[in-house]
A and B are shown apart, each in its own frame.
Chain A
């Protein structure tokens, strides 16, 4: 076979090239979809492993993973709605956590959805304790701190030893929130001019305004 004949046999026509191009584009689109599904599954897998770790440390916890389906954009404290409800065993006052700690509590429940108020809301009251110093207090939100993704540890004793960097967890007293759920880290201590007490500014490890998935601790 001559060189020119060989070259002609190897060279594709315009139509063939075009068809191959379309086929490759279609395959590329399918692969992109698979890649997106892969990343979603990977993220969900990672999250579920972290919930499993939480469950291993606290075997008494019953966790129900859920996704955020609605966020109240006009709500001042970033509350959101999850896609699980009373049918799945969720009830009012159940704690809501992510892999980074406690983020809120269930305030309303429907059959297939539930509304969550976050730890940034003044309506939230969580009995908490400083892991380092064992000083106890109540975590409750503040209108002046909610925009900075911060909350407060109030009602702490005047002889407390709390300092910046301490980790705050739920104490379990009161029976509403399970024990040892991480709430956040102390950023600074401030003086409350209304009642002349000191409170600790606590920053949750989770960015409350951008939560996309969480788990309900079913009682």
Chain B
């Protein structure tokens, strides 16, 4: 049982590496309506739905840190926000919510929207960059939507792995 959990988290680690490479390689994944998805955010949230609070928090922090590296090179915003988000999602599904797909999808979409909008607020609006509203409409709304859609396959994959390895 313990070995199976290790295998599960090793599989999650492998997913982090693969998705980081896919996210960071130019021209590997095409732009959709002006932006590319952030693969690691839905990964962290899909794992948080099934895993306990502590490993979810750690995986959220790692995924956030890797996302920060792809954005600005300095670890900070996404590392902190995904740490908190992963803990909250894991706590919610351990104590309050049932592990249903629609609940998980809607909650993760909400979390992704909040995190990305906060990023835009901090790095664009607070810096008083002109025309940032237009930029948000042209790039960030599509980023939120397609990042949320990436949750779907990751939820099924990690759900399958968790059911077969940890339960």
Contact check, B38 vs A74: say whether CB atoms are below 8 A apart. Answer: yes
Q: Which of B24, B73, B127, B135 contacts A73 (CB 8 A)?
A: B24
Main secondary structure of the interface of A (DSSP, over half): loop
Quick one: given A143-B135, A144-B135, are A72 and B70 in contact (CB under 8 Å)? yes
Q: What is the minimal beta-carbon distance from A112 to any residue of chain B, in angstroms?
A: 14
* In the complex, number of A-B residue pairs with CB atoms less than 8 Å apart: 47
Q: What is the minimal beta-carbon distance from A83 to any residue of chain B, in angstroms?
A: 14
Residue among A71, A73, A122 with the highest chain B CB neighbour number at 10 A: A73
Number of interface residues of A (CB under 8 A): 18
B164 sits at the interface (CB 8 A): no
Quick one: given A143-B124, A143-B135, are A75 and B71 in contact (CB under 8 Å)? yes
Contact check, A74 vs B139: say whether CB atoms are below 8 A apart. Answer: no
CB-contacts of B61-97 with A (<8 A): 67, 70-74
Chain B residue numbers with a CB within 8 Å of A142 are 130-131
B108 sits at the interface (CB 8 A): no
Interface residues of B (CB under 8 A from A): 23-26, 34, 36, 38, 67, 70-74, 124, 127, 129-132, 134-135, 139
Extra contacts, 20 of them, besides A71-B26, A73-B36 (Cβ < 8 A), are A72-B72, A72-B73, A73-B23, A73-B24, A73-B26, A74-B38, A74-B71, A75-B71, A76-B135, A108-B74, A122-B130, A142-B131, A143-B124, A143-B132, A143-B134, A143-B135, A144-B131, A144-B134, A192-B130, A194-B130
Interface residues of A (CB under 8 A from B): 70-76, 81, 108, 115, 122-123, 142-144, 147, 192, 194
9 closest A-B pairs by CB: A143-B135, A144-B131, A74-B70, A122-B129, A115-B73, A74-B71, A143-B131, A73-B26, A71-B26
